[in-house]
Amino acid sequence: MYKSLIYKEWIKTRSTITLLAAVFLAAGIYSFMKTGEEIRLTGMISFWDTLIQKGINFFTYYKYMPLSLGILTAITQYIPEIQQKRLKLTLHLPMPETRIIITMLLYGLAVTIIFSVITIAVLLSGLSVSFPREIIRLTFWFILPWFLASPAGYLLAAWIIIEPKPHIRILCAVPSAAAMSFFFFNAKAGAMQPFIIYLAIFTIILILFPLYSITRFKEGK
């Protein structure tokens, strides 16, 4: 039964996932090409100096991409369920309703986490060819909040989409946008490091939000 539910989610999201994989790949190639070009133009020593003194990051193109990934995954998963109230068919399956929803949420979270892990691994491995461990470590802490925004954005988007009342959706969107801004502080590399744990805990708590929307849907709100 779980396989069948995951199969349904895959059918809904496969085109979006393919498209996003292409976009992430293109952004990665572009980032490395741009960095290579900078190094060739200014020389490695000058480039390192600029990097350390001014705190320039290589991967600013990626800043909002993980968040977009989370939101797009939620849209492709839940808009078809809400359209014409197909969610009634899903919740009528002979499985406990919470398990059905948790399975759907875990699928979406898995998509965002797998994308994030692969992207971070590829980017940092690429950097490790030309840069010392300290710079790679700083870059990791710098970009990590952006990638944490992916599952958080996914869960908030799922919460808003499943909410049955349109005007409440707007009310949910305002605090969601405010909450997401915490993931995008323009702090110096490493400055966000102590807050990462709180962002991670916040993201885990967000799992309860779509479940609340489901309860409201079930009550016919």
Partner 1 sequence: MVIECENITHYYGNRLIYKNLNFSVEKGKILGLLGKNGTGKTTIINILNGYLKPREGNCRLLGEETNRLSPDTKARIGLLLEGHIQHSYFNVRQIEQYYSRFFPRWQSNEYWRLLEKLQVTKTQKINSMSCGQRSQVALGLLFAQNPDLLILDDFSMGLDPGYRRLFVESLKEFTASGEKTVFLTSHIIQDMEMLIDDCIILDYGKILLHMPADTLMNQHPGKTLENIFIELTGKY
Query: What token pair was written down for 139?
Result: 């870059």
Judged by CB under 8 A, the residue of 39, 95, 124, 196 near partner 1 is 95
In sequence order, the 6+-apart residues with CB closer than 8 A to the CB of 180 are: 67, 149, 152, 153, 156
Report the nearest approach of partner 1 to the CB of residue 12 (Å): 6
b/e burial code for range 154-177 (CB count within 10 A of at least 16 → b)? bbbbbbbbbbbeeeebeebeeebe
Judged by CB under 8 A, the residue of 56, 89, 117, 177 near partner 1 is 89
Based on CB atoms, which residue is closest to partner 1, 47 or 217? 217
Q: Which of residues 96-125 bind partner 1 (CB under 8 A)?
A: 96
Which parts of the chain fold into alpha helices (H)? 2-42, 44-54, 65-82, 87-91, 97-128, 133-162, 166-181, 196-205, 208-218
Judged by CB under 8 A, does residue 19 bind partner 1? no
Q: Which of residues 200-219 bind partner 1 (CB under 8 A)?
A: 217-219
Alpha-carbon torsion (90, 114, 140, 204), positive or negative: positive
Number of residues in contact with partner 1 under rule CB under 8 A: 23
- CA-to-CA distance for 159 and 162, rounded, in angstroms? 6
Classify residue 210 as exposed, middle or buried by CB count within 10 Å of its CB (0-12, 13-18, 19+).
Answer: buried
- CA-to-CA distance for 74 and 159, rounded, in angstroms? 9
- Draw the binding track, 59-88, toward partner 1 (x: CB under 8 A; -: no contact): ---------------------x---xxx-x
Judged by CB under 8 A, does residue 220 bind partner 1? yes
| Listed residue (27, 82, 91) closest to 59, CA to CA | 27
**For the chain, how many residues are written?**
221
Judged by CB under 8 A, does residue 44 bind partner 1? no
Stretch that binds partner 1, among 89-97, 128-136, 184-192, 196-204 (CB under 8 A): 89-97
Based on CB atoms, which residue is closest to partner 1, 88 or 188? 88
Judged by CB under 8 A, does residue 10 bind partner 1? no
**Amino acid occupying residue 35:** T
Based on CB atoms, which residue is closest to partner 1, 134 or 219? 219
Judged by CB under 8 A, does residue 3 bind partner 1? yes
Judged by CB under 8 A, does residue 1 bind partner 1? yes
Judged by CB under 8 A, does residue 92 bind partner 1? yes
Interaction site with partner 1 (CB under 8 A): 1, 3-4, 7-8, 11-12, 80, 84-86, 88-89, 91-96, 217-220
